[in-house]
Structure 1
């Protein structure tokens, strides 16, 4: 995956590599010429000291320039790649069905698009700024160190082996902890998100202490894990530094024994120690980067899981069709993911174009599930659902969205303006269309009283509107596109009786050709429907008009009498 997202920036990557080569070459050449400077000092050769000093400054300047430019290019690549991955991940999530989102969990997906993408961004930054440098620096320093003092080659080998053993042991232990670390991050984010979304409930029931206790427990678990990982880093660094200083001590001690027989060893020891430190630096950075890379690879895997997940529902065609508003369920059975028992069981009914169909039943009978099947938010495991005589699974997404509109039980608005929210039902709606839809939903009365009317600001989740106002705006959004089938999933529950009656009358007058499916808790909402479906425990146990069901269906009659339905006649 990483190679794929880096491909558009291959020329930047090549430039970064060449700059890294220039930077590393500068680091390797400086100790080499430093040996010559020390020899000139011992020989009191002022001219050579001056010329080599100027050359060292030029080499250092080139290295500094290469390093600075490479940092800029690395940052550009890292930022670009992270933006691409974040956008691609979000785009992929938009293709998910309800089942996919529930499988991952919304909070988990947010963490993957933020924290995990940031880890990948850090990995790319390290790759071009540090990781490309380390193998070149290690190999170059090793070769030049051996050339400088060939008799001490074994010191380098022993140091590399010791560092490798220590690093492998510590990083192996730490790497196993990064998976649980991300899981705790997901859990902590979920708790915080849930608490902030339900802040009104928390305040109303004085649950601050309980919410804090829940958050603190998870936070403490994350802290303990973070502390364990941090202690690993804390232990690793002094051990590696101890190994490097021991290597320097051994090198100096052996060189001191060579002074009498090899006077050039004095000038060479500084360069040798410098190369030794560069080797050590490369090994230490590999150890520390190894942990960061391990964490980033886990994040990369988590992003890959999202991108490789196939939507639970797929649209076979992109062809747009103009369908009639007929609707039929044919022996439909549906079970939610991870549930054992079906929510809908062998449902069969038909609705002619322009009819109003009411759906009633006790809580948990499957009314909202049936509503969500119509716009194909879920697919049935058995049976088929047809619109205009065609199976939903054979229609394009565009055809579905043009034909069916749903107003969900929970009214959800997005930050922006009133017009922005209404245009989610029809992107090209003009002002007259907005006003017509708002009029049908009885939302015009409060929208037009606001200072900026349809350009008035809507806060996140519509928190600056009442429940009834949000429902009416949701209904306006649902009807603005003149759908052939309109599904109202208990979407007038927050309205008073007068407003609900006005909405129903406007729907009957303005959308005469639209097939309307009304999911309701109150019999009064569906008493005038052309056909009423009665659900009980996921089964369709009766269908007919209000008068027919009162006489023939015990469940409907019980609901009717409980709500004093006789007063509605």
Structure 2
């Protein structure tokens, strides 16, 4: 609850309004039965003046009760929506600070559920607290006292009914609290399955897996359905039990009053008020129990949000100072192991790159090429060793400096909904239109952009479905170079391009980014054969380093890759 208190203190006026309106609403509700009793007594005495006066007061109280109830809902909604909005923004910002490792720990599907479903539960929690939890305890205490005041000799009947209803409530809502926790877990699973299926729909259809995926989804959905049905069963059984206890108490009260009406004639007017107070006591207990269940469900969601907020990002920055760094990169005995993995992905890597050099990174699948590149961009920190960027330990450089210095273009091109211009400006927020057009030319993207009537204002659909793989890669590459980065990492980012387009891209990079240190991760040696240095990785080790000609003479691993690809490429391309 500490998390909520931090945000609640921002809205003291709304909280005060909710408290005052709740007290006013319950006060009018508790006094109305007493007025009805006085009216009945006045009717028995045929006192018309008293009847008129009390009737006016009854109407006045009803109006006050309605107005205060409306204001209570208004203030509760204001508090719930504002606090949830603040908490959602805070959680989203925290997620933005997470590293790849943090995201993988939670999974993207779970984080989406926490931002949407769990936040809705927290909204319900706050609404319940500032409506029911404020009003029901007052109603319970007030109705109990007024019931004893109305028929003092039947005080024990109220206590008996309270004990019965509380016992049923405890049994019911304890079970429901545990079930609500399971509901959130299965909501995570369903969201993850649905997200994976929709994002991989082409794969699903290609391998005719619709039936299998439907069966898996249906299994998870059935589990969630069973839990929800159990919640429904408990609800359906609990209400008759509550009503039975209440009506039994009311019947017993009427029987006892009826048996002693001759000795207590004033009980004729009191019995209706007493029955009303019994009902209010019962309703207060039931609503408190139900609200407790909603609160317990909200607390489960709050704990899940707290888990996100309390998670420390794997990557921390010791300074906010913005610096201009040169393009030198040095690895000093760097090793790296992924979180939750026992096997090293990189082991004791050391090399040095001068500013403006073109570096190729090659190796077999799973040799650690992409991992090495991610360490340069500080998407992860090494498990041991040191990485220097521009002559400084990368851990001592601000996040702004790293992102300004290093641009990372992934093999899997990810574009966002919006326009082409908006996507390219993610590489440099203040980029001019001339800079964007130049970046598109370097990436050979202007070729297809110019064919659209709206050119750079052309819409990018969800998951960039209106672009081919090659077009997405070229747009992603343009986004990477628009900021004229000091260090550019291309993680097999031209794999979807044909040989001619790839050659034009490399020529464009060489011509327009002469001072940029470029790392090229490639499966094809033809993409890196002109590099100043080529790093050869083998099972996480740096097995060799040198030029294409040197490695052909000295590196068995490089020779094996060369011999494998020579049959597929023209000999002149690899010579």
Indicate the TM-score class for this superposition, using the shorter chain for normalisation: over 0.9
Report the counterpart of residue 572 of structure 2 in structure 1: 567
Instruction: State the Cα deviation string for residues 45-82 of structure 1 (Å, max 9, x = none).
Output: 22221221111001101101111122122212211111
Instruction: State the Cα deviation string for residues 403-449 of structure 1 (Å, max 9, x = none).
Output: 10000111000000001010001000011000011111111111111
1:497: how far off?
0.3
Q: Between Structure 1 and Structure 2, how many residues are aligned?
A: 569
Instruction: State the Cα deviation string for residues 456-479 of structure 1 (Å, max 9, x = none).
Output: 100122111010011011111111
1:231: how far off?
1.2
Q: Distance in 2 between matches of 1:38 and 1:268?
A: 8
Q: Distance in 2 between matches of 1:344 and 1:390?
A: 21
Match 1:500 to one of 499, 502, 506:
502
Moved more, 79-88 or 351-360: 79-88
Q: Distance in 2 between matches of 1:426 and 1:249?
A: 77
Report the counterpart of residue 228 of structure 2 in structure 1: 226
Q: Is the 8 Å Cα contact of residues 404 and 484 (structure 1) preserved in structure 2? A: yes
Report the counterpart of residue 197 of structure 1 in structure 2: 199
Q: Answer yes or no: is 1:17 the counterpart of 2:32.
A: no
Instruction: State the Cα deviation string for residues 514-534 of structure 1 (Å, max 9, x = none).
Output: 000000000000010000010
Summarize the alignment of residues 442-461 of structure 1 with structure 2, pairs less than 5 Å apart.
442-461=444-463
Match 1:558 to one of 557, 560, 564:
560
Moved more, 35-44 or 426-435: 35-44
1:86: how far off?
1.1
1:179: how far off?
2.0
Q: Distance in 2 between matches of 1:460 and 1:542?
A: 43
Name stretches of at least 5 consecutive residues in structure 1 with no aligned partner: none
Q: TM-score, normalised by structure 1?
A: 0.99
Q: Distance in 2 between matches of 1:439 and 1:425?
A: 15
Instruction: State the Cα deviation string for residues 10-30 of structure 1 (Å, max 9, x = none).
Output: 110101110111111110110
3-state SS of 1:345 partner = strand
Q: Distance in 2 between matches of 1:353 and 1:172?
A: 65
Q: Distance in 2 between matches of 1:10 and 1:197?
A: 44
3-state SS of 1:132 partner = helix
Report the counterpart of residue 411 of structure 2 in structure 1: 409
Report the counterpart of residue 212 of structure 1 in structure 2: 214
Q: Is the 8 Å Cα contact of residues 35 and 267 (structure 1) preserved in structure 2? A: yes
Match 2:260 to one of 246, 258, 261:
258
Q: Is the 8 Å Cα contact of residues 367 and 539 (structure 2) preserved in structure 1? A: yes
Q: Distance in 2 between matches of 1:340 and 1:195?
A: 30
Report the counterpart of residue 341 of structure 1 in structure 2: 343
Q: Distance in 1 between matches of 2:420 and 2:164?
A: 67
Report the counterpart of residue 169 of structure 1 in structure 2: 171
Q: Distance in 2 between matches of 1:132 and 1:202?
A: 52
Match 2:399 to one of 387, 397, 400:
397
RMSD: 0.9
Name stretches of at least 5 consecutive residues in structure 2 with no aligned partner: none
Q: Distance in 2 between matches of 1:286 and 1:63?
A: 20
Report the counterpart of residue 312 of structure 1 in structure 2: 314
Q: Answer yes or no: is 1:434 the counterpart of 2:436.
A: yes
Q: Is the 8 Å Cα contact of residues 356 and 531 (structure 1) preserved in structure 2? A: yes
Q: Is the 8 Å Cα contact of residues 120 and 299 (structure 1) preserved in structure 2? A: yes
Q: Distance in 1 between matches of 2:321 and 2:53?
A: 76
Instruction: State the Cα deviation string for residues 324-374 of structure 1 (Å, max 9, x = none).
Output: 100011111001111110111111111110000000001111111111111
Q: Is the 8 Å Cα contact of residues 233 and 288 (structure 1) preserved in structure 2? A: no
Q: Distance in 1 between matches of 2:473 and 2:561?
A: 25
3-state SS of 1:483 partner = coil
Report the counterpart of residue 249 of structure 1 in structure 2: 251
Report the counterpart of residue 116 of structure 1 in structure 2: 118
Match 1:83 to one of 82, 85, 94:
85
Report the counterpart of residue 155 of structure 2 in structure 1: 153
Instruction: State the Cα deviation string for residues 464-515 of structure 1 (Å, max 9, x = none).
Output: 1010011011111111111110000000000000000000011111101000
Report the counterpart of residue 362 of structure 1 in structure 2: 364
1:178: how far off?
2.1
Report the counterpart of residue 130 of structure 1 in structure 2: 132
Report the counterpart of residue 105 of structure 1 in structure 2: 107
3-state SS of 1:426 partner = coil
Summarize the alignment of residues 316-327 of structure 1 with structure 2, pairs less than 5 Å apart.
316-327=318-329
Q: Is the 8 Å Cα contact of residues 114 and 304 (structure 2) preserved in structure 1? A: yes
Q: Distance in 2 between matches of 1:69 and 1:371?
A: 58
Q: Distance in 2 between matches of 1:460 and 1:368?
A: 26
Q: Distance in 1 between matches of 2:339 and 2:137?
A: 49
Q: Distance in 1 between matches of 2:292 and 2:232?
A: 14
Report the counterpart of residue 525 of structure 2 in structure 1: 523
Q: Give 4+ residue runs of structure 1 displaced > 6 Å after superposition.
A: none
Q: Distance in 2 between matches of 1:414 and 1:303?
A: 26
Report the counterpart of residue 352 of structure 1 in structure 2: 354
Q: Distance in 2 between matches of 1:449 and 1:7?
A: 55
Q: TM-score, normalised by structure 2?
A: 0.98
Report the counterpart of residue 58 of structure 2 in structure 1: 56
1:9: how far off?
1.2
Report the counterpart of residue 546 of structure 2 in structure 1: 544
Q: Distance in 1 between matches of 2:195 and 2:314?
A: 26
3-state SS of 2:10 partner = helix
Q: Answer yes or no: is 1:372 the counterpart of 2:374.
A: yes
Q: Distance in 2 between matches of 1:436 and 1:364?
A: 35
